[in-house]
Amino acid sequence: MVLKALSDYIETLCRRHILLKHSDNDCHFVNLNDDKKQTFLSEKMHYPGVFFSVESGYRLNGTDVGLTRNYTCRIEVWYHVEDTANYLEIEQKLSQANEILIDILALMINDKRKRSVPVLMGVNLNGCQVLDIENKSNALYGCYIDFPVPTSLCVTDRLKNFADIGQFDATFTPSFD
């Protein structure tokens, strides 16, 4: 639910960004975890393009008071170049991709600060690295950022799955014979 809300939010940012102007008819955003959208990706995608994905699996953090699933999300910004041997064009497109990514991240931080988008409350971009990427065979160049998205789990809600939860006390010591 949280990850879908984050994807929807980033898609909204792509609709609002003046260089992207993402729309249903002019696709500049795709959630790579959405199989329906992936099927038409090569046919309908326009560049610059923004790709959102969530790594499979998660890191679990547990404390005395709760559990948190930490998912790793990625935002990629890609540009298509006309000539992969034109290094000036490549550098220009890489710079533009980085600017679009920074614009998206800046608005995320602004919306988090204003508390206007609840899904952003746990997102922390501090220390996240932006890296350049290339797909020479498709003449695509861009950049990406990976960042953690925590989702809290209520421990007491999880306890309902144990029939005998009230039968153990604090003095219970398991035997390892």
2-154, CATH topology level: STM4215-like (3.30.2000)
Per-residue pLDDT, 45: 86
**Mean pLDDT value across the chain:** 87
Q: Does the pLDDT of residue 6 top 90, yes or no?
A: yes
Q: Which tokens sit at 44?
A: 């309908």
Tell me the mean pLDDT in the region 129-151. 95
What is the rounded average pLDDT of the residues 51-73? Answer: 87
- How far apart CA 24 and CA 120 sit, in angstroms, is 25
Of 156 and 53, which is predicted with more confidence? 53
Taking 70 as the threshold, does the pLDDT of residue 62 lie above it? yes
Q: Is the pLDDT of residue 96 over 80?
A: yes
Looking at residue 174, what is its pLDDT?
65
pLDDT tier at 92, thresholds 50, 70, 90 = very high
Does the pLDDT of residue 175 top 70, yes or no? no
CA nearest neighbour of 30 among 74, 95, 65, 81: 74
18 strand-pairing partners: none
For residue 58, the tally of other CB atoms under 10 A from its CB is: 17
Q: How many Å apart are CA 53 and CA 146, to the nearest integer?
A: 9
